[in-house]
Amino acid sequence: MVETRPAGPATNAGPGRLLIAVYLLFAIAATSRAGLQIATKFDEAPVAYLLSGLAALIYIVAAVGLARAGHTGRRVALACCSVELVGVIAVGILSLVDKELFPDETVWSQFGSGYGYIPLVLPVLGLVWLWRTRRAPA
Amino acid sequence: MGPMTSAATASSPVDGIVATVSIVLSLLVAAWALVVAVRQRPPDRVQFVGLAALEVSLLVLAVLAVVAVGGGDRPGEPGAFFGYLVTLVCLPPLAWVLARMEPTRWGSAIVCAVCLVTPVVVVRLQQTWEVLGG
């Protein structure tokens, strides 16, 4: 099922490229949405919109990290996926407990239900992919 | 009410046969790309032709929208509407470029993923047009 790669495993080939593509789509979606919200109606829900902006930034950096591969790229991707997972779970819980905090939808509200729960699945897939492509200890 | 008339809100330029064709085409390409990916094949000619046809129908949709706006109609959320419109026409080329970089089954999987996202963007485009009309 998984092609064996004799050389060092790369995060930017095979299934990794699909992962990068999905990250790219989310980066585009989140960036344009957050940009528009911050530009046109920032005062309505500053916390939610700043969070959308942060999420957008993380998607972009994660996509770049995975695409660049290499040691630094992997660490960057690892950090982004971890922050994303913590973020989507924390905001998911907070948005259920305290609706006042997020009066408008964000990418991570209700565990990303507005985006088909993909925001919840994506960091998990990212972490699994980083784990699968890790360098075997010599 | 402003300059908005009932005639202007009556019909949406992005909610007709062209939008339906785009959605159906996109889902067909997604289904085919999935079959190809499951069969462990790289993106094939059918996917390329499908993406090209999808791009043509999306460009027609964009032209219809621009013509409607030129004729005085206004989308409910202009910023979001044009954001979705620009994103939409970029999706098939993006799918093809990414798929060409990955000449394995995963290239076909990328085509499938992008073609599943495209109908969602078409529907969001329709929703951002209709906010005022509702």
Task: State whether B87 and A28 contact (CB < 8 Å).
Answer: yes
Q: Judge whether A47 is closer than 8 Å to chain B, CB to CB.
A: no
Q: Tell me the ipTM for this assembly.
A: 0.84
Query: Residue A47 pLDDT > 90, yes or no?
Result: no
The nearest CA of chain B is from the CA of A1 a distance in Å of 10
pLDDT class for B1, splitting at 50, 70, 90? very low
Express each pLDDT in A121-138 by its tens digit: 999 999 999 999 987 554
Contact A38, A49 (CB under 8 A): yes
Q: Judge whether A121 is closer than 8 Å to chain B, CB to CB.
A: no
- Tell me the mean pLDDT in the region A89-105: 83
Q: Judge whether A79 is closer than 8 Å to chain B, CB to CB.
A: no
Q: Judge whether B23 is closer than 8 Å to chain A, CB to CB.
A: no
* Structure-model confidence comparison of residues A66 and A107, the more confident one: A66
pLDDT class for A52, splitting at 50, 70, 90? confident
- Tell me the mean pLDDT in the region A92-106: 81
Residue B86, token pair as written in the block: 């620009």
